[in-house]
């Protein structure tokens, strides 16, 4: 049986840690929980990350990089149905690759954890859908976009459920397609014929 590479092991550790941080918060998640979730010993885990802080820093760095990658992939696409579909698709693809990271990205929405939101730079996730509107003050922009933010939150809720179901689904491609269509309806774009 082939051994996992160090990179694969670290991705597994970071994904599991992200899931635990999303569930319990940064303060209450522990190295032992990550070790238990991955099947590695605590000593083996500490070989890769020397402390809880180092592990969490790596988790947030990976998660921010993934959020920024989603934003970068759509930043030149005009706000609208095409951009929204691209963001939803990217997040669902990421949920197949790193479901724990997607859970962490959505934790500020689902758990209201301010520390997670702060460390993730959640503004970039919102900007992925809305584009950057630097000309408007934040308060005016927020008031004007409340309905849109509610729709985005509902669509991200569907992505959150998808991030739990897709990795274990028998027909992941069909489920992914259905989730994308549902998100597009939530975002008031309808379903393509």
Segment 63-87, tens digit of pLDDT? 999 988 988 899 899 988 999 999 9
Q: What are phi and psi of 30, to 5 degrees?
A: -125, 160
Segment 19-63, tens digit of pLDDT? 999 999 999 999 999 999 999 999 989 999 999 999 999 999 999
- CA-CA-CA-CA torsion sign (144, 78, 88, 102): negative
Domain boundaries, the chain: 6-186
Return the CATH number of the domain spanning residue range 6-186.
Answer: 1.10.357.10
Interatomic CA distance for residues 19 and 96, integer angstroms:
13
Q: Tell me the pTM.
A: 0.81
The pLDDT of 144-173, averaged and rounded, is 79
CB neighbour burial string for 146-182, b if at least 16 within 10 angstroms, e if fewer: eeeeebbeebbebbbebbeebeeeeebeeebeebbbb
């Amino acid at each position: 049986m082939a051994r996992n590479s160090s990179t694969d092991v670290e991705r597994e550790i970071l994904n599991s840690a992200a899931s635990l941080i999303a569930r319990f918060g940064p303060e209450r998640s522990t190295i032992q929980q990550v070790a238990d979730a991955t099947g590695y010993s605590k000593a083996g885990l500490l070989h890769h990350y020397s402390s809880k802080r180092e592990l969490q820093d790596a988790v947030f760095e990976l998660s921010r990089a993934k959020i920024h990658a989603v934003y970068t992939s759509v930043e030149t696409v005009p706000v609208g149905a095409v951009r929204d579909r691209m963001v939803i698709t990217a997040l669902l693809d990421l949920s197949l690759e790193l479901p724990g990271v997607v859970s962490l990205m959505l934790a500020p929405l689902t758990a209201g954890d301010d520390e997670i939101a702060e460390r993730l730079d959640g503004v970039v996730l919102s900007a992925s859908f809305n584009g950057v509107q630097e000309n408007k003050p934040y308060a005016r922009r927020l008031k004007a976009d409340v309905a849109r933010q509610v729709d985005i939150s509902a669509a991200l809720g569907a992505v959150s459920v998808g991030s739990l179901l897709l990795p274990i689904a028998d027909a992941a491609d069909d489920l992914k397609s259905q989730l994308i269509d549902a998100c597009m309806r939530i975002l008031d774009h309808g379903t393509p014929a």
